[in-house]
Structures are given as C-alpha cells and as structure tokens.
Amino acid sequence: MQIRHLAHSHASRGGLVLMALMSACGQSHALPPVDAGVDATLAMDSSPPPLPDAAIDSSPPPLPDAAIDSSPPPLPDAAIDSSPPPPVDAAIDSSPPPSCDTLEPSRTFVIDRMDVGREDPVGVSSGYDLDTRVSDDTDPAGCYQPDFTSPSGTPGIDNQFAVLAPSLESAAGVDLAASIASSIADGSLLILPVLENLDDNFNDDCVNLTLLLGRVPGGGAPILGTTGTLAEDQTFDIDPNSFDASGAPLMHAAGATLVDGHLQAGPLEIALVLPVGASALSLNIHQAIISFDLAPDGSAFRNGVLGGDIVVEELVASVVAFGGGLPVGLVRNALFSTADLAPDAAGDCQSVSVTLVLSAIPARQGVIAAP
C-alpha cells in the first residue's frame, strides 16, 4: 500500500511540473574492653600478676620476616636490570602516523558513463538521505515531497530531480542520458576523479578525492573503445578552470574513507555544465556526497552515486536557458513546486535534491592546459 501511495504522489508531482513547463514551453574503631574475669583468676596467685604477653620481654617486638635479614629488601623484578624498560609496541616505530596531507602517488580516472538518477521502478531511486528524515506527502519539513527508497531498500532518499528531469526532457525535447553520453564521447564533458593517498584498495581511512575537468590534448575527440565509450588509459590535460585563484582544486574532499571496497567522500561543492545539444544545463550541486565501489585491483570504479542539493534560484536561469527561453515566472513556480530541501522561515523549501549515477575507468593526467 505504501508503494502505491508513493507512486501516486511522485507521478502526480511530475505531471504538475510537466504541465507548468509545457504550458510555457573513612570511620575510626575503639578497642574492645578487657575481660574482667581474667583479672580475678590472676589475683589468686600472690605473685604479681603476669604482664601482658606484649610486655614479657622488654626487648622490642620481633621484626617482621622481611626484616630478619638486615640487608635491604630485594628489589622488584622490574628493577633488577638498571637499563631502561623496553619501549611499548606503539612507540617502536618513530615515524609519524599516516596523514591525508601526506600524499601517496595519486590514481586518476575519467568518468565514462553518467546520467541523472532515475525513478525505476516507481518510488525507487539511487541517492542519499540528505536531510536525515523520511518524508511523505504529509510532511511539511520536506515540503510535502515524498522521499524515495533506494534499490537496496533504504528509505528517505532525496532525489526530486528524478521528478523534474522527465519534465525538462519533454519541455525541451531532449534525452538527457543520450546527450550526456554524446558529450563524454566527443570530449566536451570530461571529468577526472583523482584519488590521493590511497594505499589499500579495500580498506583505507585516509583518502582525498578531487574532481578535475579534462581536455583532449591538442583538441579533438578522445579515443573510443568498441562499445562507443571512452577507451581506458588515455591521457587528458587539465582544464585550468578546475582551480581557484590560489591554485587549489575547486572540487575537493579530504579525509574520505574506503570500507570493504566502498568509498564515500564529501561534502564538496560540484559545478557541472552538461552540454545538451546546442544548449547546456548548469548544475551547481551543494553539500555533495559521492560514493562508488572501487575495483579490487583499484583500476576502475562502478556504482557511483553523486547526490546533493541545487538552490532553486540558481537553477531557474539555467533551466530557462536550457529550455529555449521558457518564461522565468513559470519556471520558478515549477521548480519551487518540486523543491524538497532547506525550508525557510515560512516553511517553503529553497533547494531541490539531485542524484547523478556514474562510473569511471583508468586515465592519466597530462599538463594543465592554457586558459
């Protein structure tokens, strides 16, 4: 019953978006008393009563066994050897502990497949629980947008772009998946994930992830394999737009963890321009999380999922340009009707959740290209 309810809610919301776009185009103790009967018995003898046992001998009481020998007591075992104690195991190696700032040789990949996260089947989508709550169409904190369930059964998945994407494709007359694949194949959309400080392909608690924009050296198209997708082990130059004014990478997450071959990194800021036909769709994804399964030999990764939020106002201009001049007011209304994150004081959500699915193959870095 719950799946059918979600299905109805997602489908209804997608239809509303499509209609809008299409219409626009311690205590002490006393000693015990002396027994009086003892004194009386002792008095029957005229001799003076015997002194208490402790006073029969005027010499001091015998020393305890440990003091019979006037030599000093033996030293404890630990002190027999005057040399210092051996170091504990943790101190045997004086080298500093591993640090993500101490970079091991990096590994470079290139994304060979990418698509927006789709709803398939109804009510199911890849992604993340970005707001740490499970919402349905009665939850004001989620702006009445029902969450999805992941393919593995995890509830609370935020990915309203799965509702928005089909409406955008219908309004603009494009296929986002095909357009993205074409852009990767012609070299206009090359994204290079770089893993730094990776010294174990299965478990590593100290990995840095950087995403760089790539270019084909000398221009032109990259080499394709027999399947029509990028061939492995190509060299790509680095687009200077990958860095800020100080030379630091713009898309970077330090301290990622690799557990049982599954890496998760974030949050980081992602800025993507997806060429679609003669236009482009700009996606500025905030507080993004990226995860994937690393191959046992570290040569590639699969099942990649990138999720985060897009501010509605930032998306409006992009959708207007992408959609060929759709009216701004109607686009804004359509996007706000899909928003599910970051509610303001009035309870109106200001961001739309988004998921991208991807995979990557091994590549090599060339030089930083000229601007």
Contact 355, 306 (CB under 8 A): yes
Contact 267, 289 (CB under 8 A): yes
Greater pLDDT, 186 or 18: 186
Greater pLDDT, 148 or 44: 148
Tell me what percent of the residues of the chain surpass a pLDDT of 70: 72
pTM value is 0.75
pLDDT, tens digit, 9 for 90 and up, residues 80-99: 444 444 443 333 444 444 44
Helix pair 312-322, 161-172: axis angle to 10 deg: 20
Distance CA(145)–CA(357), nearest Å, equals 21
**What is the rounded radius of gyration, in angstroms, for the C-alpha atoms of the chain?**
37
Tell me what percent of the residues of the chain surpass a pLDDT of 90: 63
Beta bridge partners of 116: 356
Distance CA(234)–CA(362), nearest Å, equals 8
Domain-embedded: residue 49: no
Domain-embedded: residue 91: no
Distance CA(314)–CA(351), nearest Å, equals 9
Domain-embedded: residue 18: no
Q: What is the predicted pLDDT for the residue at 93?
A: 42
pLDDT, tens digit, 9 for 90 and up, residues 152-204: 999 999 999 999 999 888 888 889 999 999 999 999 999 999 999 998 999 99
As for how many domains the chain has, the answer is 1
Q: How many residues does the chain have?
A: 371
Buried b (16+ CB within 10 A) or exposed e, 147-179: bbbbeeeeebbbbbbbbbbbbbbebbebebbeb
Q: What is the predicted pLDDT for the residue at 8?
A: 44
Mean pLDDT, residues 93-120: 77
Contacts of 49 (CB under 8 A, 6+ apart): 39, 42, 43
What are the phi and psi torsion angles at 23 (to 5°)? -65, -25
Domain-embedded: residue 271: yes
Domain-embedded: residue 270: yes
Domain-embedded: residue 217: yes
Q: Degrees (nearest 5) of the Cα angle 285, 230, 203? A: 65
Cα 19 to chain centroid, rounded:
37
Distance CA(328)–CA(315), nearest Å, equals 11
Q: What is the predicted pLDDT for the residue at 74?
A: 52
Distance CA(334)–CA(182), nearest Å, equals 28
Distance CA(191)–CA(72), nearest Å, equals 77
Domain-embedded: residue 52: no
Q: SS3 sequence, the chain?
A: CHHHHHHHHHHHHHHHHHHHHHHHCCCCCCCCCCCHHHHHHHHCCCCCCCCCHHHCCCCCCCCCHHHCCCCCCCCCHHHHCCCCCCCCHHHHCCCCCCCCCCCCCCEEEEEEEEEECCCCCCCECCCECCCCCCCCCCCHHHCCCCCEECCCCCCCEECCHHHHHHHHHHHHCCCHHHHHHHHHHCCCCCEEEEEECCCCCCCEEEEEEEEEEEECCCCCCCCECCCCCECCCEEEEECHHHECCCCCECEEEEEEEEECCEEEEEEEEEEEEEEECCEEEEEEEEEEEEEEEECCCCCCEEEEEEEEEEEHHHHHHHHHHHCCCCCHHHHHHHHHCCCCEEECCCCCEEEEEEEEEEEEEEEEEEEECCC
Domain-embedded: residue 215: yes
Integer distance in angstroms from the first to the last C-alpha of the chain? 56
pLDDT band at 18, cuts 50/70/90? low
Question: Residue 315's domain spans which residues?
Answer: 100-368
Q: Is pLDDT at 102 greater than 90 in this prediction?
A: no
Greater pLDDT, 5 or 83: 83
**Residue 243 burial by Cβ neighbours in a 10 Å radius (0-12, 13-18, 19+):** middle
